[in-house]
Amino acid sequence: MKTVVLSETVRYGTQDGVAVILLDNPPVNALGHSVRVGVAAALDRVAEDTGVHAAVIAGSGRGFCGGADVRQFNTPAATAGPMLGEVIAKIEASAKPVVAAIHGVALGGGLELALGCHHRIATADARLGLTEVTLGLVPGAGGTQRLPRLVGVAEALDLVQHGRRVTGVRAAGLGLVDAVFEGDPIAAGTAHAAAAEAVPAPGVRSMAPTEFDFSARRDAVGAKDRNALAQRAAVDCLEAATRLPLEEGLTYERARFDELVAGPESKALRHVFFAERQAAKIADLPADTAVREVVQAAVIGAGTMGGGIAMAFANAGIPVVLFERDQQALDRGLARMRHNYDITAAKGRLTAAQVEERMGLIRRTLDLADAADADLVIEAVFEDMDVKKDVFRRLDAVCKPGAILASNTSRLSVDEIAAVTSRPQDVIGLHFFSPANIMRLLEVVRGDATSPTTLASCTRAAQRIGKAPVVVRVCEGFVGNRMLTPYWREANFLLEEGASPQQVDQALTRFGMAMGPHNVADLAGLDINWATRKRLAPTRPAHLRYCRVPDRICEQGRFGQKTGAGYYRYEEGSRIPHPDPVVDEIIARCAREAGVERRALTDDEIVERCILALVNEGAQILAEGIAQRASDIDVVYVSGYGFPAWRGGPMHYAETLGLDVTLERIRALHEVHGEHWTPAPLLQRLVAAGATRFETC
């Protein structure tokens, strides 16, 4: 079949009386302006060509259509005609049947385009969905109106509200597609179109009477859901589909889309979406860098973290050797993994056979030499430099040449660890976050001697096991934990100055943090940070203010939930925090000793001091080159530290406030609280230059 180019991204041809409209906008055939122009022009040709009795729309490459070109949102290209809704209206008005032949994916606007066609067919493994809610949006070209008319309100709401995807087989069962096909989508689409003698009455325009409790569905949306605003709007749009004629419903849906796309929540979620994809790109990595495939992994240590890491590899189908020093510790670790898998199976997310398959990929051993054939070995032992050095000396002796040796350290120097081996180029930090089998963030810590191949190989492996890798350089605490230091500093200063732990925690959770800092400390264990503070005590400037509240709490053996008491007290077998007068007295005594006069504090001051402490330290980290990009810092905090995604991360939040306003507030805090609040020089330079974004540095 010969084709002609109708736009930069759409080709047109005919075959046996069927017109073929081919989307050709790699990598995902996104519905940018040129695609919309091309499809509209193709439909005009279909209408005019007397030799054509039907048409098929298909996608070139790996899929049908991945949706709108998100990068064009909030730009003139997004609103340049024809809009997607206008293109779909052309399809619906066509006197000749139009078939969507779906392979790969039909997501967001791609599925809306297909919903406008008279017929839809899909491969069995195609993935179909209206995923706009993940970007803080609702469909804007009829998805919430046409989908329930095809599959019913309950099924449509489950798909739209949560951005879920279904396979081609499932789509056929729902009535979303007419049939499942194998092979070439153009051939299948052409055959299906040729069989359609006339356009059937468009069933997507009618809606059967429906009773559904939309209010309950709206009320069930969690206040901390990353896309709560969009989820509620999705429910509103589906409700409109049951109460309004199609044209009025389309108008209502588009108004909600326009409202959301212009709002800060969607802009923040789109920022995070692109930031995650950018974070995996290493700016100075040579294009010809070799990558080692991880066929066999090994994990040293079967504790909570080591077991979670082993599960992450097993979940990706990668065999892993799990080492412990004694049988009791190994059995305890295996029991914990089995328990975690059983919980997942009980929720219907795994079958019993899948649990056995994954447990079977984890080979247990008490002999470190069993790690000899591993391509990647991850140390997950106690956070002590001497212990880690001993492990790496032993690994250096037993592991094969070219094996990557990684430390799961959360803040220790990878360079110092690498120095005890004969292969520092193969040593790297892989800082997983607990629970490691669930949390997506992975700080990939690049040492001074880490080779490009080691770095690229670990980034690739991280993506393979479903992690969001962020490349960072070596410093105390890397990006995430280094920024926690001033965050927790302010949270504890605020206690001395008059706040209670619960006031601080509640103010920050209302801001959107997943947990307050004192809740987090109790969950993680106060003894961990206490050990770090004692290790770093000799380097702490004596003239700077230091809060002794957490040290005094630890001195009483209160290490958080695991001891039943920390900043809060806990009932036996419960994780519910209760205010404790003992802590109130510790705080008051520390304030008296420090000469701090206590006062009433507002939630706004609590939030400002804690969040701007993150921003100021993030700007310093960026200037030092510890992180490649400001957006990488946002990925760390959204993916690993519970920062609200709908605020985009601490650096994006500062840009939303305005860098000039951010600097003004930090300077005001510096005036009151002194040297701890010295503004980051990078922030000062950017504001002086009139910059509005960190990425301009």
Do 244 and 230 share a structural domain? yes
Residue 283, in any domain of the structure: no
Residue 274, in any domain of the structure: no
Q: Is the pTM of this model over 0.85?
A: yes
Do 250 and 139 share a structural domain? yes
pLDDT tens digits, residue range 623-632? 999 999 999 9
Domain boundary among 216, 237, 261: 261
Q: Are 102 and 146 in contact (CB under 8 A)?
A: no
Structure tokens of 566? 């920390």
Do 497 and 460 share a structural domain? no
Residue 493, in any domain of the structure: yes
Give pLDDT, residue 201.
Answer: 43
Give pLDDT, residue 498.
Answer: 97
Residue 677, in any domain of the structure: yes
Do 604 and 691 share a structural domain? yes
| Structural domain containing residue 667 | 481-625+628-696
Do 340 and 239 share a structural domain? no
Tokens 């001051």 sit at which residue? Answer: 605
Query: Residue 399 belongs to a domain with what CATH number?
Result: 3.40.50.720
Give pLDDT, residue 581.
Answer: 96
Residue 367, in any domain of the structure: yes
Max intra-chain CA distance, the chain: 92
Do 427 and 500 share a structural domain? no
Residue 282, in any domain of the structure: no
Do 621 and 662 share a structural domain? yes
Task: Report d(CA 176, CA 166) in Å as an integer.
Answer: 10
Query: Residue 503 belongs to a domain with what CATH number?
Result: 1.10.1040.50
**The 105-107 sheet, strands edge to edge:** 105-107, 127-129, 165-167
Query: In angstroms, what CA-CA distances link 560 with 411, 517, 520?
Result: 21, 12, 9
Residue 287, in any domain of the structure: no
State how many domains the chain has: 3
Which residues are catalytic, by number?
112, 132
Do 358 and 499 share a structural domain? no
Do 20 and 163 share a structural domain? yes
Query: Residue 230 belongs to a domain with what CATH number?
Result: 3.90.226.10
Domain boundary among 441, 476, 511: 476
Do 468 and 489 share a structural domain? no
- Characterize 612-632 residue by residue with b for buried, 16 or more Cβ atoms within 10 angstroms of its Cβ, and e for exposed: bbbbbbbbbbbbeebbbbbbb
Structure tokens of 83? 């809009």
Give pLDDT, residue 225.
Answer: 86
Do 463 and 592 share a structural domain? no
Report the DSSP beta bridge partners of residue 407: 379, 429
- Cβ partners under 8 Å of residue 177, min gap 6: 102, 120, 121, 122, 128, 168, 171
Low-confidence residues of the chain, pLDDT below 50?
198, 201
Do 225 and 321 share a structural domain? no
Domain boundary among 453, 476, 499: 476
Tokens 């301009």 sit at which residue? Answer: 696
Residue 275, in any domain of the structure: no
- Characterize 486-511 residue by residue with b for buried, 16 or more Cβ atoms within 10 angstroms of its Cβ, and e for exposed: bbbbbbbbbbbbbbbbbbbbebbbeb
